[in-house]
């Protein structure tokens, strides 16, 4: 029986710095062990989201903190009897500190696109950079969240809107915190049902944010008011884009199709605690989206 090839998953960014009146610059790192110039990237920690790993590894390798924009797909190549798959996002820097050189990365450079492409070692990474540079307009992330695992209806005797999340649901909610951070979430909205509000509370508490509750996003109202759900989602998306403030909105399985359709996204099944990140252009139009399954 042939031996199965091992798959290793990693994540990284094409971080682009924009400055008024100047051409953009791309972030590269030099690894002395390989003597190569490459994009910052690295392996996932156990149960880590790829997007979270991309942000973490970029900071660890370059000293630059970033917020993610559009997904750029993945590249794969053979390593040590297996295959390595690296997922990439376009990213923007929000803070930078000088990094002390070490055996992993000894040089960090911001280069013009032409100089970056000329210096980079790997052709497949060059294609990822070219794809990132095609996005010339700013975008805003808008996150649609299905509430985390809630107590079963048959085991709950109170009002359904008050049904809480379970221990597993609480773990899922906590795992969402770094994912929201990775996309720079700056506002929160939710169904007024307890299980939805509780899903956003760990992030809200950490960031000292309020969760804006909307009755129309509850199952009881939203399932019979598709027009109202879509109108609200379009309104929230417009506000998010105008303020350049990424938003996370939590809802229920029966109304998620209308929530997504309002954003120009084809509905799809979502697990409890799952997130679809919708990227909107300056006019509020859908330009890309990505699915993040729960890590618990």
Output the DSSP codes for 138-199: --EEEEEEE---B--GGG--S-GGGPPB-HHHHHHHHHHHHHHHHTT--EEEEESSHHHHHH
Percentage of the chain modeled with pLDDT above 70: 98
Domain at 201, CATH number: 3.40.50.1240
Structurally, the chain folds into a number of domains equal to 2
Q: Is the separation of the CB atoms in 100 and 62 below 8 Å?
A: no
Between 143 and 138, residue with greater pLDDT: 143
Residue 215 gets which letter from DSSP? G
Instruction: Determine contact, residues 249/263, Cβ cutoff 8 Å.
Output: no
Q: How far is C-alpha 12 from the chain's CA centre?
A: 12
**Has residue 3 got a pLDDT over 60?**
no
From 159, 142, 141, 144, select the one nearest 252 (Cα to Cα).
144
- Considering the domain architecture, whether residues 127 and 173 belong to the same structural domain is answered as no
Distance separating alpha carbons of residues 219 and 225, to the nearest angstrom? 10
Does 150 reside within a domain?
yes
**270 token code pair:** 């979502």
Does the pLDDT at position 87 exceed 50? yes
Helix (H, G, I), strand (E, B) or coil at 19: coil
197 with 213, same domain?
yes
Place of tokens 């390989």: 34
State which of 106, 133, 160 marks the end of a domain.
133
Answer yes or no: is 85 within a domain: yes
| pLDDT at residue 1, rounded to an integer | 47
Residue 110 has pLDDT above 50, yes or no: yes
Q: How far apart are CA 143 and CA 165, in angstroms?
A: 20
Give the CATH number of the domain where residue 109 resides.
Answer: 3.90.79.10
Rounded CA gap, 40 and 136, in Å? 21
Average pLDDT over every residue of 50-79? 96
Do 15 and 144 fall into the same domain?
no
CA 235, CA 91: separation in Å to the nearest integer?
A: 26
Q: Which long-range contacts (CB under 8 A, 24 or more apart) does 261-270 make?
A: 261/230, 262/229, 262/230, 262/231, 262/233, 262/234, 262/237, 263/142, 263/144, 263/233, 263/234, 263/237, 263/289, 265/144, 265/289, 270/146
In the predicted model, is pLDDT for residue 96 greater than 50? yes
Model confidence over 41-53: pLDDT tens digits?
999 999 999 999 9
Q: Does the pLDDT of residue 188 top 80, yes or no? A: yes
Quick: pLDDT tens for 213-233: 999 999 999 999 999 999 999
Range of the domain at 231: 140-292
Give a yes or no: residue 206 inside a domain. yes
pLDDT band at residue 132 using 50, 70 and 90 as cut-offs:
very high
* Least confident residue range of 137-146, 149-158, 192-201: 149-158
Do 26 and 111 fall into the same domain?
yes
């Amino acid at each position: 029986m042939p031996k199965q090839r091992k798959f290793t998953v990693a994540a990284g960014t094409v971080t682009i710095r924009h400055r008024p009146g100047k051409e953009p610059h791309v972030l590269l790192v030099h690894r002395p062990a390989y003597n190569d110039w490459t994009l910052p990237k690295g392996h996932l920690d156990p149960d880590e989201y790829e997007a979270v790993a991309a942000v973490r590894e970029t900071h660890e390798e370059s000293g630059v903190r970033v917020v993610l924009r559009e997904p750029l797909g993945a590249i794969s190549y053979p390593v040590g009897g297996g295959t390595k798959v690296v997922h990439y996002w376009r990213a923007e820097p929000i803070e930078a500190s000088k990094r002390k050189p070490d055996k992993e990365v000894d040089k960090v450079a911001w280069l013009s696109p032409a100089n970056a492409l000329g210096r980079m070692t790997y052709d497949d990474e060059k294609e990822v950079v070219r794809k990132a540079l095609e996005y010339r307009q700013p975008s805003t992330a808008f996150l649609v969240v299905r509430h985390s695992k809630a107590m079963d209806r048959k085991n709950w005797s109170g009002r359904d809107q008050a049904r809480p999340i379970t221990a597993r649901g609480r773990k899922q909610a906590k795992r969402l915190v770094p994912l929201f951070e990775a996309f720079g979430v700056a506002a929160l909205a939710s169904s007024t049902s307890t299980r939805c509000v509780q899903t956003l509370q760990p992030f809200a508490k950490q960031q000292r944010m309020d969760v804006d509750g909307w009755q129309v996003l509850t199952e009881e109202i939203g399932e019979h008011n598709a027009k109202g759900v879509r109108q609200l989602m379009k309104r929230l998306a417009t506000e998010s884009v105008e303020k350049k403030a990424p938003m996370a909105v939590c809802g229920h399985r029966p109304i998620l199709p209308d929530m997504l359709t309002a954003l120009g996204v084809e509905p799809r099944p979502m697990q409890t605690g799952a997130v679809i990140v919708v990227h909107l252009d300056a006019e509020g139009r859908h330009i890309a989206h990505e699915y993040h399954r729960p890590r618990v």
